[in-house]
Structure 1
């Protein structure tokens, strides 16, 4: 490992020192982007950010600057997407160039003896999140060690979303922890497809057939659903685009109880609850939701680090049914959603535009759901909590609002956080379509619905079919796609 070099600027932030980290790895070459990378790139351009992943992580195990440099070397050497630069080719299409070797910088940020390393680490993480990557010139990973009185207190990491996603981060952290404790070498050779290999695979006939099956599924649902998810916009001033967080221990207990009774995952219960709550808020049925699908369940993709997550399309009828029935329909509709969430994003946009022209109105797809938890399986049988226990937990539920977005492309998105002992719902909302008061009502209704369902298997949703959609509602949640 190289010796420290005098201060530098890394990702727009001034460092005290740096260490140059050489790396080398397989998968070098030039080619197109994968479907997942292309989807993320489009979202990044719309948002005006790199949608970076990471943050400031306290170091409490005695790791040194050299240890963090070894971790950075591991990431860059093992994962080809960390060595990819993206630019526009001669034909105007995006290409990525994966380098076989090179060097990166581990920044070192020394905090004055009377300074606050927690605050310094968070400030650096915030600055990196707000500073887009230069993908044509910069490696898509930034990493720094924050030091106080000569001791590393935090590691700060930012990775561009075009280089990884939540599932990819999980792969990277798992394989980092599996390294040989003496040599620091990987426990096993890398077997996952790099981005250039996967992009080439996605051009093969067999994968193109999967693309065709997926697009047929989307077409069926886009022709089944009504065109609107929410009402017309209302100018409610600024800030327009907000992010919030709803935390509910009661929702955790109740969703586990319903899931255990039905032999499903809590993810199915929360998605069903979200679909019902949105329908009760808007009066629009069937519920049509874009659900983020990780795609690492597909053969050969379990250990891929670069982005695989794309949106699947989920349609379920929530009217004239019990909540348990909606959960059952959600199970079946989710399976189809995941099965057909592997497609060329450019061809999907062409399909959406064509259907919009033929129907005379574009089908709005601005209601989204993303369960960020990984490996959530069927809930095992367990005694249901008492109503008193649920109500006591409910007293601690809280909705908080954070920093607004400068811009946001969709109307409403709910993300399930990774906390183990509570349900954390991160909310992204366009308040010109869904007001702050409506968001609050939606969260409380979702919570109340699942709490009531925990003790009442026959609980009705209380939703009536949208009159204009009643003729097609029977198709939602019951039709099976070809393929």
Structure 2
């Protein structure tokens, strides 16, 4: 496929310019990027309606960057090179940003060209000193626009922030290119100032006291089985499970508790069963959008919350209730100064004679943690034991990507559809839950990781089929 790239410089102008300290969210993601070497870029693609004019895409890019200071923010470093934490964030008042155009031949596949551009945006690091944190490109064939690709720096925008950007497009008059409503008042400079004020410091202090209390609940733990070191070091196990999707629906109907918490409970029981660790620990993503003024903020405000769940002497449904309580508290205390959190972890490591084993993550990317209705096919009824039994043989498990670095010793991502197009065939067109388990092969045996994923499925499905699941002590 022959692709010819060109670009148009789109001018922008907006309010909120200036320089100041970075926000907590910016620092947190920056630390992860420096530690792992990953770009952490977030990229979305979509087909464009037939007849979409190029001028409209220019207007969209101009509107978003002009309206949202986070999209025109650069970072300033102590020595000019991004080798340490940012010294300042710098919001530009005006400037230019490129809109890329990928022209392809008549016989080429526009979706394949969009995927090529998506991959380039995802894997190419941003130059945070002089490149604004948004990339936009369109695929054009025979003079007509076919696909849109937009990439964002995760340092400046989180997933919920991208949703807020999409919502804000309702305030763009497509005919004139003008805004029909004022933008959200809070920008990244104001947010950073608030975080370092008296109220922000008090919130951070409360959160870190909670982190310290959770760390104290965790006994020393060491793997029961020797690791199986491989190169590249980090491997991904992918499980596609229609049975788990059904089991989660059944658990929601039975307990009245959202499936995000059921997943956390299944994770905690599987951690005890397979790794012999109880209480379990998971760092979860806290969106912080419930905080005043954050709902429509196009910025990076997500942080990690620490979630510790005791599975001892409890049925699975009781663990679900404990998981809901733990996740709720983790979210409430998931807003803090990352520098002070790093100092807390260093103090804990000095006291224990080694770093606390908390680099375990659970990221449920399927949506909100509210009880969900059943599918239209069965009118919302909870799945039957027969349906669950029939779905179990459809589970597919395979080892996927391999990377030299990743964020955490154990990192579980959960999706309702795998984000990579070439893996959607795993679902066979059925509603399914995808578990993507990234593991450090220098810490875990590969057989343990597969056993862990299957244990998560088993505990949910068996409880849905009426079995009384009691978690081990660990």
TM-score, normalization by structure 2: 0.89
Residues 215-250 of structure 1: CA distance to partner in whole angstroms, max 9, x if unpaired? 100111111212336457634322321234322222
Trace 1:308-387 onto structure 2 (pairs within 5 A): 308-379=301-372, 383-387=381-385
1:42 counterpart (31, 47, 50): 31
Trace 1:453-468 onto structure 2 (pairs within 5 A): 453-456=463-466, 459-463=468-472, 465-466=473-474
Q: Secondary structure at the match of 1:125?
A: helix
Q: Which residue of 1 aligns with 2:433?
A: 423
**Shift of residue 268, structure 1, vs aligned partner:** 0.5
**Shift of residue 427, structure 1, vs aligned partner:** 2.3
Q: Which residue of 2 aligns with 1:441?
A: 451
Residues 317-350 of structure 1: CA distance to partner in whole angstroms, max 9, x if unpaired? 1122100010011111111111111100000010
**Alpha carbons of 1:64 and 1:94: their partners in 2 closer, same or farther (altered >3 Å)?**
same
Q: Which residue of 2 aligns with 1:154?
A: 147
Q: Which residue of 2 aligns with 1:480?
A: none
Asked whether the equivalents of residues 229 and 367 of structure 1 are also in contact (C-alpha less than 8 Å), the reply is: no
Work out whether 1:253 is the aligned partner of 2:253: no
Asked whether the equivalents of residues 250 and 451 of structure 1 are also in contact (C-alpha less than 8 Å), the reply is: yes
Asked whether the equivalents of residues 74 and 128 of structure 2 are also in contact (C-alpha less than 8 Å), the reply is: yes
* Structure 1: tracts of 5 or more residues without a match: 1-13, 467-483
Q: Secondary structure at the match of 2:266?
A: helix
Asked whether the equivalents of residues 55 and 122 of structure 1 are also in contact (C-alpha less than 8 Å), the reply is: no
- Which range is displaced more, 193-202 or 362-371? 362-371
Asked whether the equivalents of residues 237 and 449 of structure 2 are also in contact (C-alpha less than 8 Å), the reply is: no
Work out whether 1:175 is the aligned partner of 2:168: yes
Q: Which residue of 2 aligns with 1:21?
A: 10
2:100 counterpart (103, 107, 116): 107
Q: Which residue of 2 aligns with 1:264?
A: 257
**Alpha carbons of 1:233 and 1:293: their partners in 2 closer, same or farther (altered >3 Å)?**
farther
- Which range is displaced more, 43-52 or 417-426? 417-426
- Which range is displaced more, 293-302 or 360-369? 360-369
Q: How many residues align?
A: 452
2:266 counterpart (259, 268, 273): 273
**Alpha carbons of 1:233 and 1:161: their partners in 2 closer, same or farther (altered >3 Å)?**
farther
**Shift of residue 204, structure 1, vs aligned partner:** 1.2
2:212 counterpart (207, 213, 219): 219
**Shift of residue 181, structure 1, vs aligned partner:** 4.6
Q: Which residue of 1 aligns with 2:47?
A: 58
**Alpha carbons of 1:414 and 1:187: their partners in 2 closer, same or farther (altered >3 Å)?**
farther
**Shift of residue 424, structure 1, vs aligned partner:** 2.2
Residues 164-209 of structure 1: CA distance to partner in whole angstroms, max 9, x if unpaired? 1111111111222453354344443112411111000001111211
Q: Which residue of 1 aligns with 2:405?
A: 407
Asked whether the equivalents of residues 263 and 379 of structure 1 are also in contact (C-alpha less than 8 Å), the reply is: no
The separation in 2 between residues aligned to 1:100 and 1:332, in whole angstroms, is 44
* Structure 2: tracts of 5 or more residues without a match: 375-379, 418-429
**Alpha carbons of 1:148 and 1:379: their partners in 2 closer, same or farther (altered >3 Å)?**
closer
The separation in 2 between residues aligned to 1:338 and 1:21, in whole angstroms, is 39
Q: Which residue of 2 aligns with 1:202?
A: 195
Residues 372-431 of structure 1: CA distance to partner in whole angstroms, max 9, x if unpaired? 233332346964211111122233222243332221241111122254943222322212
Asked whether the equivalents of residues 459 and 469 of structure 2 are also in contact (C-alpha less than 8 Å), the reply is: no
**Alpha carbons of 1:336 and 1:286: their partners in 2 closer, same or farther (altered >3 Å)?**
same
Asked whether the equivalents of residues 63 and 172 of structure 2 are also in contact (C-alpha less than 8 Å), the reply is: no
The separation in 2 between residues aligned to 1:406 and 1:62, in whole angstroms, is 43
Asked whether the equivalents of residues 16 and 91 of structure 2 are also in contact (C-alpha less than 8 Å), the reply is: yes
**Shift of residue 90, structure 1, vs aligned partner:** 7.0
Asked whether the equivalents of residues 234 and 403 of structure 2 are also in contact (C-alpha less than 8 Å), the reply is: yes
Work out whether 1:452 is the aligned partner of 2:462: yes
The separation in 2 between residues aligned to 1:441 and 1:233, in whole angstroms, is 15
Residues 54-112 of structure 1: CA distance to partner in whole angstroms, max 9, x if unpaired? 14322244323222222211221111111001121479852111001111110111112
The separation in 1 between residues aligned to 2:397 and 2:166, in whole angstroms, is 31
The separation in 1 between residues aligned to 2:4 and 2:125, in whole angstroms, is 18
Work out whether 1:397 is the aligned partner of 2:406: no
**Alpha carbons of 1:61 and 1:450: their partners in 2 closer, same or farther (altered >3 Å)?**
farther
**Alpha carbons of 1:229 and 1:141: their partners in 2 closer, same or farther (altered >3 Å)?**
farther
Runs of 4+ in 1 over 6 A off after TM superposition: none
Asked whether the equivalents of residues 287 and 302 of structure 2 are also in contact (C-alpha less than 8 Å), the reply is: yes
**Alpha carbons of 1:439 and 1:107: their partners in 2 closer, same or farther (altered >3 Å)?**
same
Q: CA RMSD in A?
A: 2.3
Q: Secondary structure at the match of 2:76?
A: strand
Q: Which residue of 2 aligns with 1:239?
A: 232
The separation in 2 between residues aligned to 1:48 and 1:233, in whole angstroms, is 27
TM-score, normalization by structure 1: 0.88
**Alpha carbons of 1:379 and 1:124: their partners in 2 closer, same or farther (altered >3 Å)?**
closer
Asked whether the equivalents of residues 110 and 146 of structure 2 are also in contact (C-alpha less than 8 Å), the reply is: yes
